Amino acid sequence: MDFSFLGEYYKMFLEGTSVTVSISLASLFFGFIIGIFICLLKISKHKVFRIIASVYIEVLRGTPLFVQIYIIYFGLPQIGIEFPSIFNIPSEFIAGVFSLSINSGAYVAEIFRSGIQSIDKGQTEASRSLGLGYWATMTYVIIPQAIKNVLPALANEFITLVKESAIISVIGVIDIMFISSRVKNVIYRPLEPLIVAALIYFVLTFTLSKLVGILEKKMAASN
């Protein structure tokens, strides 16, 4: 195997890595917000809200991310919904973040639901006795504690996002996989660029896994 091409193309791989990390962080942020919202609908006392949340979670978790990306990027424009470029951010990047965010939101919602259910119900009753309403209790008492309980799971979700983001190269996002494909077409050797891409993903996920391990130990020590 010959990796001499890295001397010429290593900057492209670095740029692709930057895009992968950026899109994963953005997707985790928006997925976090979506997940909390869907979780609150899921545990709502209103049956309609619970049904909406359940359908969202089951559909997004029960269909392949690949299909979701294709529907969002290629299907939605057919009904007049397109993703514009904003602040020089390519439309492909925005569509990729949107796809990963709504997918991640379904998983984050379930993570938060388990975190909220782990909180002692006595705290909710105590908050109500102090005059706090439902939303105030959730905002100031329950959710902050739930976030602390599910931080390791959220960190693992970020690791999953980094790996799943590889699929967005199919819509033209210039990430690690897109760069490896471009280099492959230039040097006419597919194996070496793919090995480089795999190694980059491994370094990213391995580093994040170690950080998650440290986080879990610190949280265990604080409890």
CATH number at residue 162: 1.10.3720.10
Answer yes or no: is 1 within a domain.
no
* Angle subtended at Cα 161 by Cα 109 and Cα 166, rounded to the nearest 5 degrees: 145
In this predicted structure, what is the pLDDT of residue 222?
64
Answer yes or no: is 79 within a domain.
yes
Answer yes or no: is 40 within a domain.
yes
In this predicted structure, what is the pLDDT of residue 219?
67
Answer yes or no: is 123 within a domain.
yes
Answer yes or no: is 11 within a domain.
yes
Beta bridge partners of 86: 89
Distances (CA, A) of 8 to 16, 130, 134, 179: 15, 66, 59, 13
Domain hosting 155: range is 6-222
Kindly write down the DSSP assignment for every residue of 73-109, as one continuous string. IIIGGGGT-----BTTB-HHHHHHHHHHHHHHHHHHH
Answer yes or no: is 106 within a domain.
yes
Answer yes or no: is 116 within a domain.
yes
Residues of the chain with pLDDT under 50: none
* Residues 159, 205 contacting (CB under 8 angstroms): yes
pTM assigned to the model: 0.85
Q: Residue 199: what are its φ and ψ, rounded to 5°?
A: -65, -40
Q: Count how many domains the chain has.
A: 1
Query: How many beta carbons lie within 10 A of that of residue 125, not counting itself?
Result: 11
Tell me: the pLDDT tens digits for 110-167? 998 888 877 777 777 777 777 777 777 777 777 777 777 788 888 888 888 999 999 9
In this predicted structure, what is the pLDDT of residue 176?
93
